[in-house]
Structure 1
Amino acid sequence: MQTTTLHTHCIPRLVALAAAALLAGCALGPDYAGPPDAAPHAAQNGHFVRGGASSTAAMPSNRWWEGLNDPILNSLVQRALEANPNLGAARARLQQSRAALNLEQANALPSVGASALAAHARLPPLNLGGLSSSSGSSTSANLYSLGFDATWEVDLFGAHKRSIQAAGASAEAAQATLADVQVSLAAEVANAYINLRDRQQRLALGDESIRAQEQMLRLTSQRVERGTASSLDLIRMQNQLDGTRADLVPLQADKEAYLNQLATLAGQEPGALDAELALAAPVPLPPAEVAVGDPTSLLRRRPDIRAAERTLAADTAKIGQAEAAKYPSLKLLGIIGLGGTHPSDLTRLDDFAAIGAPMLSWNFLDFGRARSRVTQAERVRDEAEMKYRQTVLDALRDAEDSLSRFRYGRVTVATVARTKVSADRALELARQRYAAGTGTLIDVLDTTRQQITAQQNLLQAEAALTRSFVGIQKALGLGWSDEG
């Protein structure tokens, strides 16, 4: 390391150099020119490939959960957005990044300090060339001083400018990351709520099926006793009942797990929402048409894309920081001091010491360290660009996949609904035949069980459709708001 310190006779030349650099706004490294065009065809198409007839190009609502028309869900999402610990951690990271930006801005400004000294010294007898002081006794002295000092590093090659740019972009990336956490949180609450209502409804239908099968089992047992049915029929009926009961066990476990999940998402302990959500309610259904906008608006809106773009901007600025480290740095130092052997000397403003000194330092012989740091920064920037491109492609794929699942989910619901209508008709016919004396009660109960199974299948299909709707909203990057 070679360090050069320049004295006062160099001040005029260095001041002129610093002024010229500042006026020129010199900053090494590449200037950020915006993100690359990672999806040119999406912008040209102007619409989603998998949208289908159920989606429209209208701008979607950011508070999409309100479109499900479920006040309880609205309340749960709002509580989660206010009290979720992960969201609180993201807010703290945002404040950290803003503090880092403030620090970098402050580092570009002069630093001013003050110092004060009051000292009493007792010195032994002086011995100069073998001759002792005449008195042969120790001496004492007082010292008082008051000083101010200021330092400022002139941003000759834009190191401070680039560091402020990098910190500002990082703060904006943290803001976008906070929004992305909000998007994921709203979707997670909605999915947990949909799954909870699905399990509650299926458990209720399962209880109905068990009651029907228990009655069928009793009637079959009576028929066996009368010799009109075989023991095999009774065993099959018992196995069917046991299977239905077994199917309800994991549903009950799922229900409790989703209750716990909703509580913790809202920042509460497991079980805190049990009483509030104990009463079963229907699964909320999506609207007939879903507004999805277009791919261009998606790329502007999704927080993870914005976070990746801001990270790319920050890493681009850091190349300039590394470049500036290859060149000299200039610091200006100034000191003003008052002092003497008596406190009154501190008031003698016409008798002060002043020092002004520039200091130029340059690590010109570092055996390639600075060049390696620049290369490292360039490769980090290249990695950030590739991550940005991948984030854009993943976002478009998420949107297209969600739209496709939603479109085919509607087909599934329509098909299962027709099956359910057929099961309803079969149950009505079985009841009519039983009333007319041409059918048995077992036929009615068995048809009832089949109709309940059709109801459960329709319920599962509707829940899957609503989850697909939630998936669309998450893929579109909806559900966030700017927070300070």
Structure 2
Amino acid sequence: MINMDKTSSSFPAARLIALAAAALLAGCALGPDYAGPPEAAPQAAHGGQFVRGGDSATTTAPINQWWQGLGDAQLTSLIERALQANPNLGIARARLQQSRAGLALEQANAAPSVGASALAGHARLPPANLGALTGGASSGNGSPTSANLYSLGFDASWEIDLFGGRRRAVQAATATADAAQASLADVQVSLAAEVANAYISLRDRQQRLALGQQAVQAQEQMLQLTGQRVERGTASSLDQLRIQNQLDASRADLVPLQADRDAYLNQLATLLGQEPGTLDGELAATVPVPLPPQQVAVGDPVSLLRRRPDVRAAERTLAADTAKIGQAEAARYPSLKLFGVIGLGGTHPSDLTRLDDFAALGAPMLSWNFLDFGRAKARVTQAERVRDEAEMKYRQSVLEALRDAEDALSRFRYGRVSVATIARTKLSADRALALARQRYQAGTGTLIEVLDTTRQQITAQQNLLQAEANLTRSFVGIQKALGLGWSDEQG
């Protein structure tokens, strides 16, 4: 690497030529060489372990296609179809192809440029002008004269990369293409998690809807029986009114669940690149929410940082911005271009066949905008500050990746405790409902007690369903935080 940050515009010409020759021979380039990303998380980089996993996580290497571990064939199908047809993936793929085309352009810019031209012209000129053109005397008769002109030429040009500006441009374009590849993988990770969360929420709402509808049916039967008892004088109108109020409240509870169900069906269809309503028939059946395993394989923080696409994209962006400093540095110094032209021509088409009668020109051109009043230096400074920003973004992405993983592990760990606690509450509610019904049938309990106990049991069931869905969503959150679910084949 050649460091010329302190060079002024009055740099001696002899020293400049020597420096250019040395740079050309040694294959060096101006600007800093990229030496890898900074160490943003020392503990994680030196073999640390996740601190929030507890007994819920193991250091076993995780599985990239994590959704298969949930054992739900419908979910697996939805995710795999989304990874093929989602419009956001199409956008990311297009951006990747754009960056690869940019890389190809920069590589082509470093090669010579060769062109060809052909001309067949007819001129109508005054005699004096024709004589001046041919080197003879003017005819002086005042009559216009015609002439033909034919030419065929080839030209070539090549800018020699004296200070490595072209090489730095190729390095920057390569890193940019790598960042686009990582961004595509990041979209895949987010998409798989989004499909899974929408599917889990859909199944949760469907189950709670089914449970609520069962409660409504039971209360409708109770209302009918109570009406009969009121007619016989064995129940009061107050009992009938309370049951009616309870029934209306239960029916009202179904409305937001129905709206959520439709919204998640629409979301899943859109994620799969389809119109809303397309998946309604396919997902109409009510099935349980898939439950995660007791323990989750998470590996270690080092493998997490190597695998997470957003961290890799930030690192590649840092590499690209580092190379762009060299581009800006090279623009401060002279450029050397080689030009060459070979041409054939005359006033008759046969003149184009005279290969021994041709015109040739070859010339180097050295140009240097040495008096730019600090513009080039300002561009270098700007590139350096852009690189500093990219470094801070990389550090931030590392810390956020570790935080995401720790948060997800903590939610999963305590989610298991929540499910176990609510399951015990639901079991107690089942027993209480059974006892209330026995007392009512034996005549030692009231209908109001049965209704209250039934409502508590339904609430406990709904809470358990919600806790189980949250636990599975926490499992999905771990997989997303670990950066799982992407494939290079998608590029």
Partner of 2:41: 39
Partner of 2:257: 251
Q: Aligned residue pairs: how many?
A: 470
1:415 pairs, out of 421, 427, 437, with 421
Distance 2:122 2:232 in 1: 119
Ranges in structure 1 where 5+ consecutive residues have no aligned partner: 1-13
Check if 1:372 corresponds to 2:374: no
Distance 1:350 1:45 in 2: 74
- Structure 2 counterparts to residues 100-119 of structure 1, below 5 A: 100-119=102-121
Larger deviation: 16-25 or 461-470?
16-25
Distance 1:296 1:96 in 2: 31
Check if 1:333 corresponds to 2:336: no
What is the percent sequence identity of the aligned residues? 82
Q: Which amino acid aligns with 2:281?
A: A
Q: CA deviation digits over 1:56-96, x for unaligned, max 9?
A: 01010000011110101011001100000110110000000
How far apart are residue 230 of structure 1 and its match? 4.9
Q: CA deviation digits over 1:277-310, x for unaligned, max 9?
A: 1111110110111001111110000000000000
1:211 pairs, out of 202, 212, 217, with 217
How far apart are residue 124 of structure 1 and its match? 1.5
Check if 1:61 corresponds to 2:67: no
Q: Which amino acid aligns with 1:136?
A: G
Distance 1:355 1:15 in 2: 24
Contact 2:239–2:448 (Cα < 8 Å) also in 1? no
2:187 pairs, out of 181, 190, 193, with 181
Check if 1:296 corresponds to 2:298: no
Partner of 1:11: none
For the aligned residue pairs, the C-alpha RMSD in angstroms reads 2.1
Normalised to the residue count of structure 2, the TM-score between the two structures is 0.91
Q: Secondary structure at the match of 1:165?
A: helix
Contact 2:152–2:345 (Cα < 8 Å) also in 1? yes
Normalised to the residue count of structure 1, the TM-score between the two structures is 0.92
Q: CA deviation digits over 1:307-362, x for unaligned, max 9?
A: 00000000000011111111001100011111111111111111111110101111
Distance 1:366 1:15 in 2: 20
Partner of 2:75: 73
Partner of 2:101: 99
How far apart are residue 447 of structure 1 and its match? 3.4
Partner of 1:200: 206
Distance 1:353 1:203 in 2: 89
How far apart are residue 241 of structure 1 and its match? 2.0
- Structure 2 counterparts to residues 396-407 of structure 1, below 5 A: 396-407=402-413
1:347 pairs, out of 345, 353, 357, with 353
Q: Secondary structure at the match of 2:426?
A: helix
Partner of 1:10: none
Distance 1:333 1:380 in 2: 36
1:286 pairs, out of 275, 278, 292, with 292
Partner of 1:239: 245
How far apart are residue 433 of structure 1 and its match? 4.1
Distance 1:441 1:17 in 2: 99
Contact 1:18–1:154 (Cα < 8 Å) also in 2? no
How far apart are residue 218 of structure 1 and its match? 3.4
Ranges in structure 2 where 5+ consecutive residues have no aligned partner: 1-15
Partner of 1:139: 145
Contact 1:29–1:317 (Cα < 8 Å) also in 2? yes
